[in-house]
A = this chain, B = another copy of it.
């Protein structure tokens, strides 16, 4: 049986940016657009060209994509032609193959917010969509407040989407702008729109999660006939967020009746990259990934030992609604389990270390990692530190040097001319094979300002490592991420440092402590140790 085509429209880069605290840079938008394209999203809405410098620049340099690249804007204002509306012109000038224009479909918003007549609004919709179509682009119409409008003045709401469709819109998208519409109401309204003659394969749905039902409402719309879903990665978006594509995609591909009835552009292979894609976005936003996220959360397939423990050991799949690897996630089960050890062995091989199956040191490494994770460490993004933990347990980590003590001072005060400023200073005492070295550095950065205690500490540490010095001369810190997290019952600081060397080699290390300077110091030490190890430095 041939399956119907279902289209996925991502608005992470536009509506997702409405999230409090989210502001993508051009480079971040490019990285996300490429990742969305790779997974098989049909439409990528990049932003609103002309609305702000970042979006304008992004559209100027946007990557080539398989996905239909879409510029967002609004329907023309009243009292001018579509061609003479400079806001619309800004959107058109981005030259994208598709243009999505938002317009009003709720009568109250037309008269109260826009202050124009209902007929003027319909004319703005018609003229704007026709203008996009005439330019040879694919036109989409986002019907703002459609569902509230449908309740308040059903005839007008239906008329507005009809107007867009008749004017040539490839897609008319019903938007639950305030997010309060329940799934059964969405289904009813979708059916009503289809009854007016807008075919389901020209109808999209755009939900928000204000009652925690954006995913369910989007699926209800599909079951009622809509064939495009708009959403965002990780449910990013204003207020409670948009419909979460990261939850929707696996349900559409793996669950009935969707899996048999519909096809998307997302392959099974791409689906297995979903967890990684979700983490990538969190990484860009420096957010802690939500452990409980459906499908992609770290806890989504975690079985807590208890009532079910023995049954889970017999057959874990009876306690899972889907197989975790299908979405690139992993089962989390008690550490003694066989699967944990074989994963570990594979990872060790990647570091050039062969360990026999059932070697008791495998369990010891897993226990140590578990103990550290309970204290707030995270090794997903810190491969180099993971390798050091494993090598320590295996007796394969040489002692290159020891830091006997350090002291860091930050002082902020007025200088002789009365200007306030700060200065950081670090003293480090290192012992290399019995030889003590005392180094001191200020945390002054390139432009002469104070770079802070971690900068000072990093410089003091790298100042004189005696026989190892030439191994670390080409090392530099390229990124530094800080998160407050749980370590047992206390809040601790987790620092992840990315380092790079002259050969372009890049590695990440982690440190954890209630004290941010200590946590940074631990990650710095790991970074240097890993570099000495990797470059074959001989311990003194």
Contacts and interface: CB of A to CB of B under 8 A. Distances in A.
A109 B113 CA distance: 58
8 contacts: A20-B381, A25-B486, A112-B315, A209-B292, A216-B217, A290-B290, A452-B513, A452-B515
Interface residues of A, number: 121
A97 interface: no
A505 interface: no
A214 to B, nearest CB: 8
A219 interface: yes
Contacts of A278: none
Contact of A20 (B112, B302, B409): B302
A63 interface: no
Interface stretch (A191-199, A318-326, A350-358): A318-326
A311 B453 contact: no
Interface in A272-313: 286-287, 290-295, 297, 299-307, 310-311
A292 B239 contact: yes
Interface in A488-508: 489-491, 493
Interface stretch (A128-136, A263-271, A384-392, A477-485): A477-485
Given A301-B239, A490-B446, A514-B450, A223 B184 contact: yes
Interface in A384-415: 404-414
A251 interface: yes
B180 A452 contact: no
A517 to B, nearest CB: 5
Contacts of A413: 404-407
Nearest to A426: B410
A21 interface: yes
A68 to B, nearest CB: 23
A479 B455 CA distance: 24
A52 B338 contact: yes
A195 to B, nearest CB: 21
Interface string A217-248: 10110010000000000010011110010010
Between A21, A250, A518, the greatest number of chain B beta carbons within 10 A of the residue's beta carbon is seen for A21
Given A255-B182, A405-B411, A453 B450 contact: no
Nearest to A336: B23
A414 B407 contact: no
A215 interface: yes
A211 interface: yes
A408 B378 CA distance: 29
A235 B294 CA distance: 12
Interface in A95-153: 102, 108-109, 112-113, 145
